[in-house]
Structure 1
Amino acid sequence: MLLAWALWPALAFAQPKPAEVDDELRKLLLNAVQAADSFTDRFDAEAWLMLQSGRLKRFVKEPEKRLHILRAVHSEAKRAGLQPELVLAVIEVESAFNRFAVSRVGAQGMMQIMPFWKLEIGRPDDNLIDMHTNLRYGCTILKHYLKRSDGHWADALARYNGSYGQYWYPERVMNAWERWR
């Protein structure tokens, strides 16, 4: 019995490697964690990236692409002062993570940004299909509408979608947000 207590600290944290763990994903995750500068701690990064990578798999099959998207979303969301899970929900509803998406009214990219914004800010050459550019625009716009709506998510999301006064879009995003939390 004494021996078991002496070994307890080592045994308590020793977990066998599950057979289904993908070594390629592990390596990608390690690189992603080391490059994830928007996280305060390596372990937070690892946990969040692993959790969200599993959720994103239904939209993006390749592990490397999933981690690239997740790092970019986390970084831009944090830069804008948004919850990354909310941004993931918006992207799910807007484009299902298709960076080449173009809506019937011309909105482009994962966060479905209207091209007129490029002219409004004097950057006509910006590429809204570029994921990083699209996320920068989208997170900035969403944060603006959240401030304008005094923190009311439903109003901010309706403004983001151009459907202010209607709540079908915010409901879709809020439902998706529950899956990302």
Structure 2
Amino acid sequence: MCLLPPSLLLGSLLFSEQASAGGQLEEPLADAVRNALSAAIASQAPPEPIFRDTESRMTYLRWLGTMSTRLAKKKPEWQIRKEFLQTVWYEAKRAGLDVTLVMGLIQVESNFRKFAVSPVGARGYMQVMPFWTRVIGDGDPGKLFHMQTNLRFGCVILRHYLDRERGDLFMGLGRYNGSRGKAPYPNAVLGARRNWEFSG
């Protein structure tokens, strides 16, 4: 997989100032995916991560502090920033995704804007298409502006696409964006991902 040269990568990242993605295609879903999306509608409170030991908790708290500093310009209010990062962590881990990948995707998709809407109607942080709410029988696209719902939908959808592509990150990201097999979007996400790396 070849990455874009810096000049094109910069252009892709500047393009991310707009909500630009949301080309996901409607397709039949496995029951597990449908159930996970349904659960997102029912769960309203920001989730509290649970840790198996003190060291895991301390690693999380160090990550939270580091990411909070990096995100402060986008989300100046501490409580909002904390709930956002806590929910990204929780939903990424819940879906078996790397947290840095999810943060990079959110940067490219919405530039961390909760109420971002793309030209094709994708909504929120992870630019989820409204048809996903119809697929699970609710049909209210307004729920995609709820933080946890949007992040859970986005993470579950990304996991679904990665599974469809047998773990191929490049192809899975392309499928998420509706540009499967084309380099600009995966390269932009993978470039943005580097902004959220954490050594622990």
Distance in 1 between the 2:83 and 2:150 partners?
14
Give me the TM-score of the superposition, normalised by structure 2.
0.70
- From the superposition, tell whether residues 144 and 104 of structure 1 become closer, same or farther in structure 2 (CA, over 3 Å): same
Residue identity in the other structure for 1:156 = G
For residues 73 and 38 of structure 1, the distance between their equivalents in structure 2, rounded to whole angstroms, comes to: 14
Q: Verify the 8 A CA contact 1:145 1:156 in the aligned structure 2.
A: yes
Which structure's residues are more often helix, by fraction?
A: 1
Instruction: Give the letter for the 1:160 counterpart.
Output: Y
> Counterpart of 2:89 in structure 1: which amino acid?
H
Q: Structure 1: 5+ residue runs without aligned partners?
A: 1-34
- What is the alpha-carbon distance in structure 1 between the residues aligned to residue 172 and residue 111 of structure 2? 20
- CA-atom RMSD, angstroms? 1.4
Of the two structures, which has the highest relative contact order with CA contacts closer than 8 Å and spacing of 6 or more? 2
Q: What is the percent sequence identity of the aligned residues?
A: 47
Please tell me the residue identity of whatever aligns with 1:131: M
Partner of 1:115: 130
**Structure 2 counterpart of 1:37:** 49
- State how far apart, in whole Å, the 1-side matches of 2:186 and 2:145 are: 24
Q: Report the number of matched residues.
A: 147
**Map of 1:61-140 to 2, 5 A cutoff?**
61-125=76-140, 127-140=143-156
Q: For 1:67-98, what per-residue CA distance to the aligned partner results, in whole angstroms no more than 9, with x for missing partners?
A: 11000000111110111111111111000111
After superposition, give the CA deviation of every residue in 1:80-132 in whole Å (9 maximum; x if it has no partner). Answer: 01111111111110001111000000000000000011111212136000011
Partner of 1:150: 166
State the TM-score, normalized to the length of structure 1.
0.77
Q: Which has the larger radius of gyration?
A: 1
